[in-house]
Structure 1
């Protein structure tokens, strides 16, 4: 763990001491090296936990998410170069330092074996995200988006802290490996039920569950490209990961608790897909599609079977790469047309033919076309939910249909049709953008060949 953590922390002095001319090159190259080294975490092992120390350990559930976290930092850096071009060097350095700061917190959150360490790092990721949204957002509304993000997260996570302290008094330990060996601490009493509810609430807001999702579209629309990528690809996954990790403390008798969450998650997948069909803002549309996909992850994590956990893991990784790529594509359009309104930025295929290829690939993976890992994940989750209750097939089936509809709508609106008359000249797509898209789509396509790397099942 330290051989990734120490180079990651050393990125901070590198950012502050690099000459302005080589700032982006040094940081991007260094973070790409860290991302390459992190791939060793995916190697199969006979042991349930790798790199085990007193505080951290890596198991098949956390290793894919850790690699995704390392992989996304260089991509965020590549995507942000144009956005901060006009800024003075000191502000560029602050921007880069803010992005780098999120990485150690996220790595610790995904690998923490001590519940209190997990809580602290889970909360700490909020600070750099808030700085990115409120300082480098594009419009004055970014302040209200930041307030939404802050208060939703803080109000939901205070009960989580209380439950962690209660669990410590009950069991005498907060170590996850020890707690696995104990009986479920939260039994089917009123205290147990309320504690289970409080435990889930923080993760449901982070994931987000439909009904608790209002902060997400606001934050996405106002955030700079790095903030959007960070939110979509990593911070939402903390919610799903938290549900999977903490579900072992709950007694299986309190399955009554699952019904409201499952209903909201599946209904939310349906509703947010419908909302996407009438969105006029491109970034808002991609943000709502994230809520729809994470609804399936929550539903799968709640029924707690091996199949559903595996499907949730694959969907989290696939969605992380796909939604991040869609935000990057939306940003390339925004940088050229200075508008996110679909009607004003249509018909870009004749003007940017190579970008149209990336749009097609990203949209096809988003709508879970075979043989992508997105399809594998959705099929696994739908099968697990169908085995749990046959009624769910109506909701999941309709949600899948609507996902295909709004994805095709997004593709046709941005790429086809006649370009608006006010677009007289447009900047060509450059190598940096093509490298960025390649680094997003390559892992997605390579994982089709060996999906068990991200399935969360011990090899």
Structure 2
């Protein structure tokens, strides 16, 4: 029942906000997202960490003719993502409620953010293929509306249109892949399909289905070369839109690969994994080179997400427990770090009128804001002791010893390319920090970090440090579930 509350609370909150007076909208947004986070934390407390398999499940008939069931549950793969999503949504609600920088039409914005939360959380707890697809699609329209209606630049409508066209195309391909699985197996139950390990699906069918499912999900990741919607969407979106896009929406694609594509279609995964790994490492290097040429801070952070998700894809492509754990940890770390980066970038944009062509002197003019940008940046480049290190290091370690079905020599090549990308990642963040943070303060004085901003940003800062120093809590939760999915 608690798993149902996870999606019911924000859905009910969305309806209440639409009916409430405008002046109460942002306060209700904070209350509803706080209640949702309390449910997520309650699930984490009730979770039985001593065994594998699904816990806190709800399974009731929904549409009997096609055996569609309203089947929800969590395991070690989904639980960290559920808590991360609920946390980021609460922080976005608090940020939206701050007195300075109050958004226009706050009631509509809060309702859309809550509807987006329903789709994101539902995606991570759905255990029926068609239910997964429904939740996966719910986020598209509200996020389109957030970018188009509250975007910060003149290109917001075009960016929103590009976002929804790319993701709808990917969703169409994904749906065809899911239908191929259903036609061949006569079931939509993700747990049963994973337990079968591909039984009842021929090799050719698995390859076709994997290409369709992983290809559709890759648009949301986004995987190079399907990433072109991302920089514009991030640059034009309001701060809370960028935080949720980077912090959660990108994870829905890689989560779907781990939950559906790899365990349900193991032969297809083995056949296509080298291609997935190749696209991943190309994305790492491509994103780093693109970042070196960026003058807009938000656009740089957006391109950096393509590179970081490349490490996640490399981990998945190894088809090993170490690689999948690396991908899941990388997802969590990227959500925390990039969420913090976009919050800080939003604060900079509010003070300086934008994030394009910024001069130096941030540390001198607003030392706390500059220090937060430095910490988030060095965490993103993978400095040991901060959260970004473990996902990248473990992904490269898994490439050193991939699954026995894969060509180790090829993956050693991937490891070398990823290593070059890691060096380039450090280079572009250091170049950015020298350009933006160093030097004397220029122009009119700007206020430093406010109390409301500290409330929003401190939890992310603390978690970035804690996850970097003590990775075991996350890896200890994910490892058993990953091995169960892989049959290891």
* Secondary structure of the structure 2 residue equivalent to 1:276: helix
Q: Relative to 1, partners in 2 of residues 1:4 and 1:157: Cα closer, same or farther, differing over 3 Å? A: closer
What is the TM-score with the length of structure 2 in the denominator?
Answer: 0.88
* Secondary structure of the structure 2 residue equivalent to 1:52: strand
Q: CA–CA distance in 2 between the matches of 1:429 and 1:170?
A: 56
Give 1:131 deviation, angstroms. Answer: 0.5
Task: Tell me if structure 2 keeps the 8 A contact 1:269–1:293.
Answer: yes
Q: Is it true that 1:424 corresponds to 2:439 in the alignment?
A: no
* Partner of residue 261, structure 1: 276
* Secondary structure of the structure 2 residue equivalent to 1:349: helix
Task: Tell me if structure 2 keeps the 8 A contact 1:50–1:57.
Answer: yes
Q: Is it true that 1:76 corresponds to 2:76 in the alignment?
A: no
* Partner of residue 405, structure 2: none
* Partner of residue 27, structure 1: 29
* Partner of residue 78, structure 2: 62
Q: Is it true that 1:445 corresponds to 2:447 in the alignment?
A: no
* Partner of residue 479, structure 2: 457
Give 1:180 deviation, angstroms. Answer: 2.0
* Secondary structure of the structure 2 residue equivalent to 1:457: helix
Give 1:12 deviation, angstroms. Answer: 2.5
Q: Relative to 1, partners in 2 of residues 1:324 and 1:86: Cα closer, same or farther, differing over 3 Å? A: closer
Deviates more, 1:239-248 or 1:153-162: 153-162
Q: Is it true that 1:250 corresponds to 2:265 in the alignment?
A: yes
Q: CA–CA distance in 2 between the matches of 1:33 and 1:192?
A: 41
What per-residue deviation string (whole Å, max 9, x for no partner) do you get for residues 380-428 of structure 1?
A: 11110111332222111111111111111222222111334xx223234
Task: Tell me if structure 2 keeps the 8 A contact 1:337–1:345.
Answer: no
Task: Tell me if structure 2 keeps the 8 A contact 1:258–1:303.
Answer: yes
Task: Tell me if structure 1 keeps the 8 A contact 2:147–2:160.
Answer: yes
* Partner of residue 405, structure 1: 427
Deviates more, 1:427-436 or 1:170-179: 427-436
Q: CA–CA distance in 1 between the matches of 2:27 and 2:384?
A: 37
Aligned counterparts, 1:119-198, within 5 A: 119-184=133-198, 185-189=200-204, 191-198=205-212
Q: Is it true that 1:414 corresponds to 2:439 in the alignment?
A: no
Given the alignment, which residue of 109, 112, 125 partners 1:111?
A: 125
Given the alignment, which residue of 349, 352, 356 partners 2:366?
A: 352
Q: Relative to 1, partners in 2 of residues 1:125 and 1:26: Cα closer, same or farther, differing over 3 Å? A: closer
User: For the aligned residues, what is the CA RMSD?
Assistant: 2.1
Q: CA–CA distance in 2 between the matches of 1:58 and 1:18?
A: 33
Task: Tell me if structure 2 keeps the 8 A contact 1:206–1:238.
Answer: yes
Q: CA–CA distance in 1 between the matches of 2:362 and 2:395?
A: 35
* Partner of residue 323, structure 1: 338
* Partner of residue 272, structure 1: 287
Give 1:156 deviation, angstroms. Answer: 1.9
Task: Tell me if structure 1 keeps the 8 A contact 2:367–2:448.
Answer: no
Q: CA–CA distance in 1 between the matches of 2:55 and 2:177?
A: 28
Q: Is it true that 1:391 corresponds to 2:413 in the alignment?
A: yes
Q: CA–CA distance in 1 between the matches of 2:291 and 2:394?
A: 24
Task: Tell me if structure 2 keeps the 8 A contact 1:382–1:393.
Answer: yes
Give 1:26 deviation, angstroms. Answer: 4.1
* Partner of residue 42, structure 1: 44
Task: Tell me if structure 2 keeps the 8 A contact 1:186–1:192.
Answer: yes
Q: Relative to 1, partners in 2 of residues 1:79 and 1:346: Cα closer, same or farther, differing over 3 Å? A: farther
* Partner of residue 304, structure 1: 319
Given the alignment, which residue of 10, 13, 33 partners 2:12?
A: 10
Q: Relative to 1, partners in 2 of residues 1:262 and 1:232: Cα closer, same or farther, differing over 3 Å? A: same
Q: Is it true that 1:52 corresponds to 2:57 in the alignment?
A: yes
Count of residue pairs brought into register by the alignment: 453
* Secondary structure of the structure 2 residue equivalent to 1:350: helix
Q: CA–CA distance in 1 between the matches of 2:437 and 2:227?
A: 29
Q: Relative to 1, partners in 2 of residues 1:217 and 1:87: Cα closer, same or farther, differing over 3 Å? A: closer
Q: CA–CA distance in 1 between the matches of 2:131 and 2:448?
A: 47
What per-residue deviation string (whole Å, max 9, x for no partner) do you get for residues 244-289 of structure 1?
A: 1121222436633222221111011011111111101111000000
Q: CA–CA distance in 2 between the matches of 1:253 and 1:35?
A: 37
Q: Relative to 1, partners in 2 of residues 1:82 and 1:345: Cα closer, same or farther, differing over 3 Å? A: farther
Q: CA–CA distance in 2 between the matches of 1:73 and 1:202?
A: 25
What per-residue deviation string (whole Å, max 9, x for no partner) do you get for residues 279-302 of structure 1?
A: 011110000000000011112112
Q: Relative to 1, partners in 2 of residues 1:100 and 1:183: Cα closer, same or farther, differing over 3 Å? A: closer
Q: Relative to 1, partners in 2 of residues 1:428 and 1:453: Cα closer, same or farther, differing over 3 Å? A: closer
Q: CA–CA distance in 2 between the matches of 1:5 and 1:94?
A: 19
Give 1:448 deviation, angstroms. Answer: 4.0
Q: Relative to 1, partners in 2 of residues 1:268 and 1:68: Cα closer, same or farther, differing over 3 Å? A: same
Q: Relative to 1, partners in 2 of residues 1:87 and 1:194: Cα closer, same or farther, differing over 3 Å? A: closer
Q: CA–CA distance in 2 between the matches of 1:240 and 1:106?
A: 13
Give 1:209 deviation, angstroms. Answer: 0.7
Task: Tell me if structure 1 keeps the 8 A contact 2:7–2:118.
Answer: yes
What is the TM-score with the length of structure 1 in the denominator?
Answer: 0.93
Give 1:151 deviation, angstroms. Answer: 1.3
